[in-house]
Amino acid sequence: MRKILTAVVCILALSFPLAATAELTRADLADELVSVFGLEDEGILYFSDNGDIPNTSSVAKAVRAGLMEADPDGAFNPGRIVESSEYDALFAKLGVQSLEDLDDRIVKGNSDFYTDAASENLVYGGNIVIHESAGDAILQNCVVLGNVYSYGDRSISFSSSARVLETKERAAITLGEKADLEYLFVWGDDSSVTLDGATVGTLAVYGKNVSVEGEGTIGRIRANGDGLVSAVIPESVTVGDSVSTAGLPVIGNEVADPSLSGPAESPDKDKIISIGKEIPVVKEIPSDEGVTFHDGPIELSHPFSSMYCSTGHVDISEYGYIEKEFLIYGNANVYNLYPNDVPYAVSYDNPYCTRLLVRYPDPAVKEFSGNVVFDILNASSAVDLEDFWRRGWDYIMESGDAYVGITSQSGAADALKKFDAERYADINWMAGGVAEDGLFFDMLTQMGNLIKSHSELIFPESFDVRNLILTGQSWSGDYINTYLSVFYDYFTADGPLFDAYLALVNPAETFIATGVAGPVRSFITPDEPYISIMSQGEHYFGSYGSWYLDFEYTRMPDTETTRFYEVAGAGHSDPTSPIIPNSSEIEKANGAGRPPKEYNVPEQPSDLQLDEVIRGAIDNIKIWLDEGIPAPSADTHWLEYRTVVDSFVGAMPECVLDENGNALGGIRMPQMEAPIAMYKPFRNDSSTTDGSMIMFSSEKLSEMYPAGYAEYKAAFDKAALTLFENRYITEEDYQALISDNSAMELFD
């Protein structure tokens, strides 16, 4: 051990006198710390000079371990020489006077306890996992640079320092005077926490009937479990009822507190209800004669995102479908919120004009099903994107459903004008002389009423609309969350408006108006069926915290009307759909286009998307509406995760991975049950929203499937059958999965 430390010891003369000294930069010190302690886990770096750090991985590991931090200017300054005060802080963190005190005390990397869980006077360079087979745990005078995870029912005597102590099952926890924890997570029911002079930053309780007693300091108690009794007075308290199921937690379960200032119902209730019933003026804007499939720009006037510019040249006429576009003229209010999420109007009767993109079966060749999919077009790329259509276009047309897409933001409206100034000249999203996204909520209610009661304005008169299903993906799905949380009681005052809701990758709420924060609540439970489908990627979005997307990942448990699905291995978005508009059309609208996605070797585009689960969900919604049979359970199939703490972000969820690097739990497509690749929810180790996969080597495939392709295919088909029999996917998708033999070449 002394030999390992020599490189570091020689430069610490200011704190540990040696004959020779050497100057060390902060970046070099990070390298040395990683080597000395065997640091493995990386944190998220949020320094102003991230791009200038030469060895980012080492810095990320040293920061995650709490051994290094930003300078006062917010930069890491990797080339700066380490100062004596920094060494003093380092020694204080390790609980030593000098590095000599560490000799023979360091346990490098992550550690596992299977039998004896007692430890004293050691420095652990990574996480500690205490498994079910181990006995009671005793950690005295230790320094843990990672987290401590306890599995199994046991007592824990902890008088050490760590970022996190997390107990997965019932535990009797005693925290001694030297116990110093940033976070203590208690999941097990009937657990107890006894403080004996300890310091805890945040105590997060998910189990039921947990008691806290003794003397010590707790900065904040976050109570997501029922029956918490605490004799220790924290500096701040957040208390809410647990909505977890089968021991699975809800992260960020914030609810609007009725005691917060604000009336029980909006003072503008009557105005909200009346303006929502107004039927806007509808004007069709036809395409120029001769518009057909095109890869590049054309001069003929046609809708933005027309199927005639789809990258896959999907001809909807072959499905017996017609495409039309309409301008919608009406008036809308703009709203703000009281602290208890009750809305009030800040401006009234603002004239607007937005557009609808409509596709429906030609009555001459195909029967209309009676179902209308009303899609909030996604504006995340500063243009209208039909995210739900691209996930289920073939299913919708094969089913005889109608599709209506509505522009949802002023930025996308501006892009339409850039795409074709003459065609979209009337579009108007202004209120008080400025662009205003808050107009959208009244637009949505008005269009729902139009489709329900005056569908002949956009559909053939023969159409009888039975079910109106509101859909949206990502930001558009967040619009559904906000719309339900704020306006549900008002647009349903005379009965249901939308018959069901299907939202995709929508873990948060959004603005109530331009620059004005939305509601506290992300989810409510409507009287109508509501299915929300998440990819594995949404866990990671929530992980980034307020500096990235400003929300905590919240789960919605099964109720009589709600389902919340999580799909293992899937990414937030799908870059491969054949109906995405060609890049030249997008470039004309937003000036940037849509260049091909680039993947760093060995990553490649993922073959695991949400599409099959989405088509299964809308099929289940129709069955729910027509036959009264609810969709299959969701909260019994949530992703497995652990809670970790990042030095900058704080507590965040982290999916638990198996030995192949694939997530555990969740709705599991056959690619996860019979894997031939590692599936990642992001691309190129960044926050890009489309997933990727890294194929296994032939040697690994031979180890996993000794009998070759036949063994693999049998496991794959069995997983597909399980999904179909349990109604998570349609029969058509099941047949497509088991008919796929593309993996055969990997085994050849």
pTM given for the model: 0.70
**Judgement on whether residues 553 and 567 belong to the same structural domain of the protein:** yes
- The per-residue pLDDT for 550 is 45
CA 171 to CA 165: how far, in whole Å?
11
Within a 10 A sphere around the Cβ of 678, how many other Cβ atoms?
18
Place of tokens 């500063």: 382
Within a 10 A sphere around the Cβ of 289, how many other Cβ atoms?
7
At 673-724, the pLDDT tens digits run 999 999 998 887 665 678 899 999 999 999 999 999 999 999 999 999 999 9
**Judgement on whether residues 182 and 128 belong to the same structural domain of the protein:** yes
Which one is predicted more confidently, 263 or 651? 263
CA 180 to CA 266: how far, in whole Å?
47
Q: Of 100, 119, 140, which residue sits at a domain end? A: 100
Place of tokens 């009406």: 330
Q: Where is average pLDDT lowest: 62-71, 152-161, 564-573?
A: 62-71
Q: How confident is the model at residue 3 (pLDDT cuts 50, 70, 90)?
A: very low
At 589-640, the pLDDT tens digits run 887 777 777 888 888 999 999 999 999 999 999 999 999 999 999 988 888 8
pLDDT at 28 over 80: yes
**Judgement on whether residues 414 and 532 belong to the same structural domain of the protein:** yes
Q: How confident is the model at residue 5 (pLDDT cuts 50, 70, 90)?
A: very low
pLDDT at 30 over 90: yes
CA 322 to CA 340: how far, in whole Å?
45
Could you tell me if residue 493 is inside a domain?
A: yes
As a whole number, mean pLDDT of residues 452-463 equals 97
Which one is predicted more confidently, 528 or 658? 528
By the 8 A CB rule, do 443 and 332 touch? yes
Q: What percent of the chain has pLDDT over 70?
A: 88
Q: Where is average pLDDT lowest: 377-391, 435-449, 606-620?
A: 377-391
Helices 56-64 and 26-37, axial angle in degrees (round to 10): 60
Could you tell me if residue 601 is inside a domain?
A: no
331 — phi, psi (to 5°)?
A: -130, 145
At 39-54, the pLDDT tens digits run 988 876 767 777 788 8
At 171-191, the pLDDT tens digits run 999 999 999 998 898 989 999
As a whole number, mean pLDDT of residues 332-350 equals 94
CA 510 to CA 132: how far, in whole Å?
42
By the 8 A CB rule, do 219 and 234 touch? yes
pLDDT at 250 over 70: no
Q: Where is average pLDDT lowest: 528-532, 549-553, 743-747?
A: 549-553
CA 131 to CA 149: how far, in whole Å?
8
Q: Tell me if residue 100 falls in helix, strand or coil.
A: helix
Could you tell me if residue 246 is inside a domain?
A: no
Could you tell me if residue 291 is inside a domain?
A: yes
- The per-residue pLDDT for 140 is 95
As a whole number, mean pLDDT of residues 300-312 equals 91
Which whole-number Å values give the CA distances from 470 to 294, 406, 488, in the listed order?
31, 11, 13
By the 8 A CB rule, do 590 and 382 touch? yes
Q: Of 594, 627, 647, which residue sits at a domain end? A: 594
Could you tell me if residue 394 is inside a domain?
A: yes
How big is the chain, counted in residues? 748
Which of 509, 516, 362, 383 has the alpha carbon at shortest distance from 439? Answer: 516
Structure tokens at 5: 């430390």
Q: Tell me if residue 157 falls in helix, strand or coil.
A: strand
- Pairing mode, strands 402-406 and 343-361: antiparallel
CA 14 to CA 87: how far, in whole Å?
8
**Judgement on whether residues 48 and 131 belong to the same structural domain of the protein:** no
Most confident of 5-9, 104-108, 405-409: 405-409
- The per-residue pLDDT for 210 is 87
**Judgement on whether residues 232 and 278 belong to the same structural domain of the protein:** no
Could you tell me if residue 526 is inside a domain?
A: yes
Strand spans (E) along 23-175: 106-107, 111-113, 117-120, 123-124, 128-130, 137-144, 147-150, 154-167, 171-175
Structure tokens at 443: 């637009």
What does the mean pLDDT of the chain come to? 86
Q: How confident is the model at residue 101 (pLDDT cuts 50, 70, 90)?
A: confident
**Judgement on whether residues 317 and 462 belong to the same structural domain of the protein:** yes
Q: Tell me if residue 350 falls in helix, strand or coil.
A: strand
CATH code at position 517: 3.40.50.1820
Structure tokens at 624: 């729910």
Q: How confident is the model at residue 414 (pLDDT cuts 50, 70, 90)?
A: very high
Containing 486, the helix (H) or strand (E) segment is helix 475-491
Containing 405, the helix (H) or strand (E) segment is strand 402-406
Count the domains in the chain.
4
Per-residue DSSP letter, 607: S
Which of 346, 351, 326 has the alpha carbon at shortest distance from 336? Answer: 346
Q: Tell me if residue 526 falls in helix, strand or coil.
A: coil
CA 728 to CA 563: how far, in whole Å?
12
**Judgement on whether residues 310 and 222 belong to the same structural domain of the protein:** no
| Residues spanned by the domain of 226 | 106-239
- The per-residue pLDDT for 547 is 33
Which of 502, 505, 588, 616 has the alpha carbon at shortest distance from 306? Answer: 588
Q: Where is average pLDDT lowest: 90-94, 102-106, 426-430, 736-740?
A: 102-106
Place of tokens 């990627």: 537
Could you tell me if residue 534 is inside a domain?
A: yes
pLDDT at 456 over 80: yes
CA 343 to CA 337: how far, in whole Å?
4
pLDDT at 543 over 50: no
365 — phi, psi (to 5°)?
A: -130, -15
The C-alpha angle with vertex 190 and arms to 254 and 162, in degrees rounded to 5, equals 70
- The per-residue pLDDT for 293 is 86
By the 8 A CB rule, do 71 and 79 touch? no
pLDDT at 535 over 60: yes
Q: How confident is the model at residue 477 (pLDDT cuts 50, 70, 90)?
A: very high
Residue type, 182: E
Which of 376, 379, 694, 690 has the alpha carbon at shortest distance from 535? Answer: 690
Structure tokens at 598: 């680039």
- The per-residue pLDDT for 116 is 84
- Pairing mode, strands 147-150 and 154-167: parallel
CA 426, 431, 437, 438 torsion: positive or negative? negative
**Judgement on whether residues 126 and 90 belong to the same structural domain of the protein:** no
307 — phi, psi (to 5°)?
A: -65, -15
**Judgement on whether residues 181 and 58 belong to the same structural domain of the protein:** no
**Judgement on whether residues 23 and 158 belong to the same structural domain of the protein:** no
pLDDT at 645 over 60: no
**Judgement on whether residues 27 and 170 belong to the same structural domain of the protein:** no
By the 8 A CB rule, do 378 and 388 touch? no
- The per-residue pLDDT for 54 is 86
At 495-525, the pLDDT tens digits run 999 999 999 999 888 999 998 888 988 889 9
CA 618 to CA 631: how far, in whole Å?
9
**Judgement on whether residues 648 and 717 belong to the same structural domain of the protein:** yes
CA 128 to CA 148: how far, in whole Å?
5
Q: Of 58, 76, 100, which residue sits at a domain end? A: 100
Could you tell me if residue 675 is inside a domain?
A: yes
Buried b or exposed e, range 471-502, using 16+ CB within 10 angstroms: bbbbbbbbbbbbbbbbbbebbbeeeebbbbbb
